[in-house]
Amino acid sequence: MAKSFACKDMGMQCGFEVKSDNEDEVLEYAQLHAQKAHNIQSIDAAMVAKLKGAMKDVPSAAGTQPSAPAAAPSGATAPAGTPPTA
């Protein structure tokens, strides 16, 4: 089972969503998005717990092509125009 994260599930008015077969990739991409798009510079343990709590189980992402920049974690998908990972 894959995991997905969407900012809207945390009450944000943001269309960002990421999906991957790897929970760590979803978390990594969500953290990078929070830093770049929402200027949240400090991702502490409480924020990580909130991000994980907002993740949902979804059908496998296997075989999907990332629509995010090539620097995105492998297997992760996000909307076009998502800030690149550094």
pTM equals: 0.68
Q: Is the pLDDT of residue 6 over 50?
A: yes
The set of long-range contacts for 50-56, using a CB threshold of 8 Å and a minimum separation of 24, is: 50/10, 51/5, 51/10, 51/27, 52/23, 52/27, 54/5, 54/6, 54/9, 54/10, 55/3, 55/4, 55/5, 55/23, 55/26, 55/27, 56/3, 56/4, 56/5, 56/9
The string of pLDDT tens digits covering residues 27-59 is 999 999 999 999 998 889 999 999 999 999 998
Of the chain, the end-to-end C-alpha distance in Å amounts to: 27
Residue 68's pLDDT is what?
46
- Name the pLDDT band for 62 (thresholds 50, 70, 90): low
